[in-house]
Chains A and B, each alone.
Chain A
Amino acid sequence: MSTILLNEISEKLQRGKAKDVAALVEQALAEGVAPEIILNDALVVGMNVIGDKFRENQVFVPEVLVAARAMNAGLKILKPALAGAGVEPLGTAVICTVKGDMHDIGKNLVKMMIEGQGIACIDLGVDVDAQVIVDTVKNNDVQLVCLSALLTTTMHGQKDVIDALKEAGLRDQVRVMVGGAPVTQAFADEIGADCYTLDAASAAREAVRLIREMRA
């Protein structure tokens, strides 16, 4: 019975039906399904399907956004139960758009996809000073720093953050992932980032890999 319900949650999530996902998560909890099962076997599974389809150009940004909205609707119901059951997130990522850049569509998309993998995100917003990121890493149990930039004029802010992490002696404590329209693998290599991905779905997959690597 619970398998059918979990599949239904996943399918409704993939179709972006937020109200239905919330109602079905409530139903699953009421029927005694463990919250981590609902998270991992319904919500995360649904987001993974959407992520794979996004990477393969079978779905596009709107489908990801409505699926993520449905995921959040389900998570809102699920979070108290997860906390009550002592279920910890997979890890914690800090995410932001770097100094001088106010653009956040890509950053928000990556955040939604990463949260869809059960990773907690500390979203510092846009136009974020390198020192604020350093302080956040210092004061939290963070494994991953995700930096977005839209402009050729602001992408060098990603290097500033990596340099600031080095200067603070924190570079080895975290993995740094970069992305954004002007960013390339070559640029990521040049500035010493650990990871570059072209799209949000790949970013989420890599985030899981990097966090597991850090926690191993």
Chain B
Amino acid sequence: MTNRERAMNILHFKPVDRMPAVHFGYWPELLQEWAAEGKIPQSLADSWYDGGEADAALDRLIGWDFNWYRTAGAYNNLLPTFEHKVLEVLPDGTQRVQSPSGMIERIRPGVTSIPSEDDYLLKDRAAFQTLYRPKMQFDPSRVNYEYFKHFNETRDPDVPIGLHLGSVLGDIRSMVSVVGMSYLLYDEDEDLFADVVDAYADMQYKCVEEILKTGAKFDFAHYWEDICFNSGPLLSPVIFDELCAKHYKKRNDLCHAYGIDIISLDCDGVTDKLLPTWFENGVNVMFPIEIGTWGDQFEAARQKYGKGMLGVGGMDKTVLRLDKAAVDRELERLTRLSALGGFIPCPDHRLMPGTKFELVQYYAEKIKEIKL
């Protein structure tokens, strides 16, 4: 079987010869660590990105079968983006930076953490109309038609490749910050936030439609959202449903019409309150099922939502910093979860600094021993 067949069979509850060894990439700092330890060539550490040549080379070196986050899509963000520029340097070295999304962030040279959200440009309808709406229009330059025309012949036939559907709310949160989103939802122009969501979604739908019309075939489709944190969703599930459900349905219906029936969604944090909106509107794979927030809830969620809920992820990546015994215990748990069907174990996010190269190799070898 190819890995493509293995993955798709598992997600359709069909038999496979073995579990594929699937991952979700690495923190750049980890790859630099491994390069410094002589585990991987420096060139791979410097050039890695999801689905790139270095990703495939690392797969061979480690023993992975593929990276789930291997997708192709349109340029479906703001076009053009805002100029990335330093607005101010504070006495302690902190920089106030205007990001490509229009968010004003605080960064500190040498600190690689997610930046601090400081301010944002999309504060009122005038800013939406003049600064943002023009950047949310569909334009043919967003789609590499030539690439997608030849996609079926040129793609790697062994691994599943997803069509990236973009993001209904996650990108917009990145434009206005969590605070900004909250204020926009409750400030005087109550329709403004919904208008922003609609305008952005219309552009993303058109991008997806244009790609599918080229005849390119995908194994699955994929969203990025990240709209939850460790206590739950970043906004009311009712408001989320009102704003977003119709857009998921429209985009997912389009995918179904082109034969794509596996639609995965990447959202960190406690997602349970938003699952109904996603599942009722065509999303069926949760990814990466972080252990820190899901705990052992995958099985319970399967009981609640049935076989319409699939999963890729759920592997506690922190055991890869410990020892073989810890990895073995995690493998035992994953074997039990895999027996439910419709579940592909994958580290529950990017592998982080301190992860032991040999343990990753060990895990990649052992996960393939799970028979279904």
Q: Using a CB–CB distance below 8 Å, which chain A residues touch chain B? A: 16, 57, 59-63, 65-66, 69, 100-106, 108, 125-127, 150-154, 180-182, 184, 198-200
Contact = CB atoms under 8 A, between A and B. Distances in A.
A198 B230 CA distance: 8
Contacts of A63: 182, 186, 236
Contact of B117 (A105, A127, A150, A198): A105
Nearest to B182: A62
B230 A151 contact: no
B238 to A, nearest CB: 9
A83 to B, nearest CB: 28
B235 interface: yes
Nearest to B237: A60
B6 interface: no
A61 B227 CA distance: 11
A181 B111 contact: no
Contacts of A100: 111, 113
A126 B179 CA distance: 17
9 contacts: A57-B232, A69-B183, A106-B229, A106-B230, A125-B116, A151-B114, A152-B352, A153-B352, A154-B113
A60 B235 contact: yes
B186 A62 contact: yes
Nearest to A126: B116
State the 4 A-B residue pairs at the shortest beta-carbon distance, nearest first: A62-B182, A65-B182, A199-B231, A181-B230
- Centre residue among B233, B236, B237 by max chain A CB count within 10 A: B236
A151 B113 contact: yes
A69 B108 CA distance: 27
Contacts of A153: 27, 29, 352-354
B290 to A, nearest CB: 9
A103 B116 CA distance: 5
B352 A66 contact: no
Interface in B73-123: 106-108, 111, 113-117
B230 A102 contact: no
Contacts, number: 90
A150 B292 contact: no
A170 to B, nearest CB: 24
Given A152-B318, A153-B352, A60 B230 contact: no
Given A66-B186, A102-B106, A153-B352, A60 B116 contact: no
Contact of A104 (B116, B182, B231, B352): B116
A102 to B, nearest CB: 4
B229 A181 contact: yes
A46 to B, nearest CB: 15
B260 interface: no
Contacts of B111: 100-102, 127
A106 B232 CA distance: 12
Nearest to B292: A182
Interface string B220-251: 00000000011111111101000000000000
Binding site of A, secondary structure by majority: helix, strand, loop or mixed? Answer: loop
A150 B113 contact: yes
Contacts of A57: 232, 273
Nearest to B236: A60
Contacts of B236: 59-60, 62-63
Contact of A103 (B29, B114, B233): B114
Nearest to A64: B182
Contact of B108 (A16, A62, A102): A102
Interface string B150-176: 000000000000000000000000000
Contacts of B181: 62
B185 interface: yes
Contacts of A127: 108, 111, 113
B58 interface: no
Contact of A62 (B185, B293, B353): B185
B269 interface: yes
B95 to A, nearest CB: 11
B216 interface: no
B178 interface: yes
A180 B232 CA distance: 13
Interface string B287-319: 000001100000000000000000000000010
- Centre residue among B179, B239, B273, B292 by max chain A CB count within 10 A: B179
B175 to A, nearest CB: 15
A199 B273 CA distance: 16
B113 A61 contact: no
Given A102-B108, A102-B116, A127-B111, A61 B230 contact: no
A181 B353 CA distance: 17
Contacts of B229: 61, 105-106, 181
- Centre residue among A16, A127, A184 by max chain B CB count within 10 A: A127
Nearest to A66: B186
A102 B113 contact: yes
A199 B186 CA distance: 22
Contact of B234 (A60, A69, A102, A150): A60
